[in-house]
Amino acid sequence: MQQVYDAVIVGGGPAGVSCAVWLARLGLSPVLVEAGECLGGLTATNPFTDDWLAALPGATGLQIAANLAQSAQAAGVPVLLRSPVAQVRVEENLYLVELAWPRQAGTREAGPAKTVRGHTLVIASGVLARNLAGYPLQARWPGVLVGPGSAIVAQDYAGLSVAVLGGGDNAFENFAYVRGRGAKTVHLYSRTVRAQSQWIARAGDVGVHRGDYAVDPVTRMVNGRRYDLILVFYGWEPQAAFADGLNLARDERGYIRTDAATAQASLPGVYAIGEVANRMHPCVVTSMADGVVAAKAIQRSLGL
């Protein structure tokens, strides 16, 4: 008979790993389901140091991801990697998490369909970088990089003309970063400025365009000017389409609504933590705290 876990946690970032580790150490049986090749979520693609993480000064996102994986292993948490979730359904008071295409590392072959069962469901699937308006979330074009991460660092900017799009911290920070990497020209286009004052000051005014602008990603044109590269930093969107069938309450931006004290969503037995619920200022520390809140609430709900 297939095992029924106390909690099926979808998403192996800081929130999901924290919840799983706490549940395991509280004596419950969690399982982590992660679509990617490794645990860590967005930290696994961040080569920069996280200077906001007081407990680990100087640690990079990659190091944090490795620490999360080590913590899950030390707590004995079972982990299913490379396992995107197709949908979640409820059957006989259990949450059935259907994996989309479980496969072996290095292959593209779909394995047999697999369903993971749990008394509770924890949605910790995080966010994805928002794309250009009017295009699907996953649409990509040559010479257009969407969102921060390792691809920005791996790119050679020497002698290139670069347009940076966005008005938040990531846009202003990466504008300054690219400008210091030998680019021939760098322009920042920002319809509305939301960045912290420190990043605005570091960017200065040279090459910064404030106001509306037009983008053609196919020709890499911004306001009629062609660029070698366009970097898009339009913020984030929650990614939890697999849970649409549960009809969970969401806010106007699509984030899952939760109870402040328990992280429980609008359906009993379902919890949403980390950036997919936008419960607190998004960062590693608050996501991990969310995981603890959900773990303790699950312990209470199961009477354990």
pLDDT band at 290 (very low <50, low <70, confident <90, very high): very high
For 162-190, give one letter per residue: b (16+ CB within 10 A) or e.
bbbbbbbbbbbbbbebbbeeebeebbbbb
Q: pLDDT tens digit string along 247-277?
A: 999 999 999 999 999 999 999 999 999 999 9
What single-letter amino acid sits at 11? G
Query: Helices (H) and strands (E) in the chain — how many of each?
Result: 6, 17
In a domain, 276, yes or no: yes
Give the number of domains in the chain.
2
Same domain, yes or no: 268 and 295: yes
Q: Is the pLDDT reported for residue 112 higher than 60?
A: no
**Residues 5-22: what's their mean pLDDT?**
98
Question: Residue 272 falls within a domain, yes or no?
Answer: yes
Residues 6+ apart with CB under 8 A from 124: 9, 10, 11, 12, 13, 15, 16, 19, 272, 273, 274, 276, 291
Res 281: pLDDT = 84
Pick from 181, 209, 232: which residue ends a domain?
Answer: 232
Residues 228 and 268 in one domain: no
Mean pLDDT of the chain: 93
pTM (2 decimals)? 0.90
One domain for residues 53 and 191: no
Work out the average pLDDT over 208-215: 96
Full strand arrangement of the beta sheet holding 225-226:
215-216, 221-222, 225-226
136 inside domain: no
* 228 & 242 share domain: no
With 0-12 CB in 10 A as exposed, 13-18 as middle and 19+ as buried, what is 16? buried
Q: Taking phi first (over 0 means left), then psi (-120 to 50 degrees means alpha), and beta for anything else, what does residue 223 get? A: left
- For 43-99, the pLDDT digits (tens) are 998 888 888 889 899 999 999 999 999 999 999 999 999 999 999 999 999 999 999
Residue 133 placed within a domain = no
161 shares a domain with 96:
no
Say yes or no: 150 and 110 in one domain: no
Q: Are residues 14 and 118 in the same domain?
A: yes
- Provide the pLDDT for residue 108: 47
Same-domain pairing of 250 and 115: yes
- pLDDT at residue 304, as a whole number: 81
The verdict on residue 168 lying in a domain is yes
Q: By percentage, how much of the chain surpasses pLDDT 70?
A: 95
pLDDT at residue 51, rounded to an integer: 85
216 and 79 fall within a common domain: no
Query: Which residue, of 232, 255, 277, is where some domain finishes?
Result: 232
* pLDDT score at 9: 98
CA dist 256 and 258 (Å) reads 6
Summarize pLDDT for 26-51 with one digit per residue, the tens: 999 999 999 999 999 999 988 888 88
Mean of the pLDDT values across residues 204-231?
96
Q: Of 212, 232, 252, which residue sits at a domain end?
A: 232
Range of the domain at 169: 144-232
In a domain, 158, yes or no: yes
Are 117 and 240 part of one and the same domain?
A: yes
CATH code, domain with 116: 3.50.50.60
Mean pLDDT on 1-9: 91
Query: Do 240 and 226 belong to one domain?
Result: no
Asked whether residue 135 is domain-assigned, the answer is no
| 105 has pLDDT over 80 | no
Q: Looking at the domain assignment, is residue 134 inside a domain?
A: no
Mean pLDDT of 156-161: 97
- Do 109 and 166 lie in a common domain? no
